[in-house]
C-alpha cells in the first residue's frame, strides 16, 4: 500500500498560517484537503520541519503511546522554559518521567486532595464575593477567580505567606500562562514573572531546607522536598521551586475557564438556573452533577491549548501517512474535543452530553468524565502517561465556581465579552466584568 510522504518543499511551510488562523488552523487545513482521511490525520510542515497532525480517539492513543513518541525536545524551548520551567517533569520521558510524575500523582490525586482545595477555595469565594462585588464594586470573574484559586492553592500546597503576597503570586503565575505563546509584550511579561516566581519559590525551598519553615506533612510542598529522583538525590533548589509551582499554577490557570464559564452562563441562562436549583437542593456549592457537567462542557467547548507536540521514536504509519523517526506528531486538542466523529453537534454548547448514562462516562478513580476523545488536560491515564494529575482538582474548582456564580445576580458588561481565535491562550477580553452584584438565595457558608 502506498503512503503519503510528508512534503519537504519549504514553500509549503504553514507556520505563518498557524499564527494567522490560531485556534482555527487545524480546522482550516482539514477544510482545504480533498483527502477524506484528513479528518483524522494530516501531513503538515511547521517551523521548517515535517509533522503529522492527528486528532480523535485514535490520534490520542498514538500521541500518548510512549513507545511510539517522546515529549523531550518536542516543544520549542522558548515556550517550555517560560511555561513549565527548566528541569520540570514536562521535559522528561520514560522511567524518569514516570518516577517524577508519581510525585504529582501523590500530591494531586491523593485521598481528599480535591476536598482540601475546595475547602480553602470556599472560604476565599465567600470573602471575595463580599469584598469585590457585594460591597458595590465591579470586578471581572477572571481576576477574582485568579485570586481565589491562587490563595487557596498556595495554602493547600503548604506555602504560608501574607495574603497580599499570595495575591501577587497568583497574578504572577497567571501572567506566566497568559503570555507564554504570545509574541511581544505579553511574552516578555511572562519571562519577567517567571524569573520573579522562580526566585520567590526558590527562596522558600531554601528556607524550608534550613528549617526556618516547615510545610505540613502530606502537602505538595512537603512532597516535593521529600522526593528523590532515580539516582537517589533530592531535587535541586531550582527544580524543587519549579515543581512546587507546577503543582499550583495549572489550578490558577483554571481562571481562564472560569471566565468562559461565566460567559456561557450569561449566554445560556437556562443552565445557570439549573445549577442554582441544584445548589439549593443540595445546599452546597460542591460537586453537583449538573455543575460538573457544565464545567466539563466549558472545558470541551472553549479553547485553551490548541495543540501539543511529540517526536516519533521510530518510523510510523498512520492511516496511510508516514512519519519518520525524529519528525513531530501533533495532537489537535481543540479538534479532538470537537471531533464530529465522536461528538453529536460538536459546535453546540450542551452540558447534557456529560449527564446520564448516554453521556461521557464518569471515572470514579480519576474523579472526572473520561474518554479518549475528551482531552482538555491531556490523554491517557495520569499515572502512566501525560494526562494532568490535577484534572480532578481543575474540574472540582470549576464546578464550585459556576455554583458560586449561580447564587449571584449581576449586570454583565457586554462590551469586551468577545474573544480572539488568534491569541493563544485566549479568553473574554474583559474577563467577564460584573457590576451591580447582589446575592440570590444561597447556602449560608460557601463551599460547604
How far is 128 from 143, CA to CA, in rounded Å?
11
How far is 229 from 151, CA to CA, in rounded Å?
29
Q: Say whether pLDDT at 70 is over 50.
A: yes
Tell me, rounded to whole angstroms, the distance of Cα 394 from its chain centroid: 8
Residues 264/294, Cβ–Cβ less than 8 Å:
yes
Q: Say whether pLDDT at 289 is over 90.
A: yes
> What pLDDT, on the 0 to 100 scale, is given for residue 1?
36
Mean pLDDT across 374-389: 86
pLDDT-based confidence at 6, cuts 50/70/90? low
> What pLDDT, on the 0 to 100 scale, is given for residue 111?
86
Q: pLDDT of 8-28, one tens digit each?
A: 444 589 988 998 999 999 999
Stretch (H or E) spanning 267: helix 254-267
Residue 433's CB is within 10 A of a number of other CB atoms, namely: 23
What's the fold here for domain 10-439? Cytochrome p450 (1.10.630)
How far is 213 from 211, CA to CA, in rounded Å?
6
Domain locations in the chain?
Answer: 10-439
- Give 369's strand partners: 362
Q: pLDDT of 303-337, one tens digit each?
A: 999 999 999 999 999 988 889 999 999 999 999 99
Grid cell digits, residue 401: 465556581
Q: Which of 10-14, 131-135, 229-233, 416-420 has the lowest mean pLDDT?
A: 10-14
Q: Say whether pLDDT at 7 is over 70.
A: no
Q: Say whether pLDDT at 447 is over 70.
A: no
> What pLDDT, on the 0 to 100 scale, is given for residue 82?
62
> What pLDDT, on the 0 to 100 scale, is given for residue 287?
84
Q: What angle do CA 23, 91, 55 make, to 5 degrees?
A: 35
> What pLDDT, on the 0 to 100 scale, is given for residue 445?
60
Residues 70/310, Cβ–Cβ less than 8 Å:
yes
> What pLDDT, on the 0 to 100 scale, is given for residue 263?
98
Helices and strands counted in the chain (H then E): 17, 12
How far is 6 from 445, CA to CA, in rounded Å?
58
> What pLDDT, on the 0 to 100 scale, is given for residue 81?
57
The HSE-up count of residue 74 (CA atoms within 13 Å, CB side) is 24
Tell me the DSSP string of 389-413: TTHHHHHHHHHHHHHHHHTEEEEE-
Query: What is the chain's mean pLDDT, rounded?
Result: 91
> What pLDDT, on the 0 to 100 scale, is given for residue 8?
43
Q: pLDDT of 201-237, one tens digit each?
A: 999 999 999 999 999 999 999 999 999 999 999 999 9
Q: Which of 298-302, 365-369, 428-432 has the lowest mean pLDDT?
A: 365-369
> What pLDDT, on the 0 to 100 scale, is given for residue 97?
84
> What pLDDT, on the 0 to 100 scale, is given for residue 78?
59
Mean pLDDT across 251-279: 98
Tell me, rounded to whole angstroms, the distance of Cα 89 from its chain centroid: 16
Going by C-alpha positions, the residue among 313, 360, 342, 376 that lies closest to residue 40 is 342
184 exposed, middle or buried (CB, 10 Å; 0-12, 13-18, 19+)?
A: exposed
Residues 418/429, Cβ–Cβ less than 8 Å:
yes
> What pLDDT, on the 0 to 100 scale, is given for residue 80?
60
The three-state secondary structure class of 41 is strand
How far is 330 from 407, CA to CA, in rounded Å?
41
Residues 119/96, Cβ–Cβ less than 8 Å:
no
Crossing angle for the helix pair 113-128 and 94-109, nearest 10 degrees?
A: 60
Mean pLDDT across 288-296: 97
Contacts for 209 with CB less than 8 Å, ≥ 6 apart: 225, 237
Mean pLDDT across 135-160: 97
Mean pLDDT across 420-442: 94
Percent of the residues in the chain that have a pLDDT greater than 70, as a whole number: 95
Amino acid at each position: 500500500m502506498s503512503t503519503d510522504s510528508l512534503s519537504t518543499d519549504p514553500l509549503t511551510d504553514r507556520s505563518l498560517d498557524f499564527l494567522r488562523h490560531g485556534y482555527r488552523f487545524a480546522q482550516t487545513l482539514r477544510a482545504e484537503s480533498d483527502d477524506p482521511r484528513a479528518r483524522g490525520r494530516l501531513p503538515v510542515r511547521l517551523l521548517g520541519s515535517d509533522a503529522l497532525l492527528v486528532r480523535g480517539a485514535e490520534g490520542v492513543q498514538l500521541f500518548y503511546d510512549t513507545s511510539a513518541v517522546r515529549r523531550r525536545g518536542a516543544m520549542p524551548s522558548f515556550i517550555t522554559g517560560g511555561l513549565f520551567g527548566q528541569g520540570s517533569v514536562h521535559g522528561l520521558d520514560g522511567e524518569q518521567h514516570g518516577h517524577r510524575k508519581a510525585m504529582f500523582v501523590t500530591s494531586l490525586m491523593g485521598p481528599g486532595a480535591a476536598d482540601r482545595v475546595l475547602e480553602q477555595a470556599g472560604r476565599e469565594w465567600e470573602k471575595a464575593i463580599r469584598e469585590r462585588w457585594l460591597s458595590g464594586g465591579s470586578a471581572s470573574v477572571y481576576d477574582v477567580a485568579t485570586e481565589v484559586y491562587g490563595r487557596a492553592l498556595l495554602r493547600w500546597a503548604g506555602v504560608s505567606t501574607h495574603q497580599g503576597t499570595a495575591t501577587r503570586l497568583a497574578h504572577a503565575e497567571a501572567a506566566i500562562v497568559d503570555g507564554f505563546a504570545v509574541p511581544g509584550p505579553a511574552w516578555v511579561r511572562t519571562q519577567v514573572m517567571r524569573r520573579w516566581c522562580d526566585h520567590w519559590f526558590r527562596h522558600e525551598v531554601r528556607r524550608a531546607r534550613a528549617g526556618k519553615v516547615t510545610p505540613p506533612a502530606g502537602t505538595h510542598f512537603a512532597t516535593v522536598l521529600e522526593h528523590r529522583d532515580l539516582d537517589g538525590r533530592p531535587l535541586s533548589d531550582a527544580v524543587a521551586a519549579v515543581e512546587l509551582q507546577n503543582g499550583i499554577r495549572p489550578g490558577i490557570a483554571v481562571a481562564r475557564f472560569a471566565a468562559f464559564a461565566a460567559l456561557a452562563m450569561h449566554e445560556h441562562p437556562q443552565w445557570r438556573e439549573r445549577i442554582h436549583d441544584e445548589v439549593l437542593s443540595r445546599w452546597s456549592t460542591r460537586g453537583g452533577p449538573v455543575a460538573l457537567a457544565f464545567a466539563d462542557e466549558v472545558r470541551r467547548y472553549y479553547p485553551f491549548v490548541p495543540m501539543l507536540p511529540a517526536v516519533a521514536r521510530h518510523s510510523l504509519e498512520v492511516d496511510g501517512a508516514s512519519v519518520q523517526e525524529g519528525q513531530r506528531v501533533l495532537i489537535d486538542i481543540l479538534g479532538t474535543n470537537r471531533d464530529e466523529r465522536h461528538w453529536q453537534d460538536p459546535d453546540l454548547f450542551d452540558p447534557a452530553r456529560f449527564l446520564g448514562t448516554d453521556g461521557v462516562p464518569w471515572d470514579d478513580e480519576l474523579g472526572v468524565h473520561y474518554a479518549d476523545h475528551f482531552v482538555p488536560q491531556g490523554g491517557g491515564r495520569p499515572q502512566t502517561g501525560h494526562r494532568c494529575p490535577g484534572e480532578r482538582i481543575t474540574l472540582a474548582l470549576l464546578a464550585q465556581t459556576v455554583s458560586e456564580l449561580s447564587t449571584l445576580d449581576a449586570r454583565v458588561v457586554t462590551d469586551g465579552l468577545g474573544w480572539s481565535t488568534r491569541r493563544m491562550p485566549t479568553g473574554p477580553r474583559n474577563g467577564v466584568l460584573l457590576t451591580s452584584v447582589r446575592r440570590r438565595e444561597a447556602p449560608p457558608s460557601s463551599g460547604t
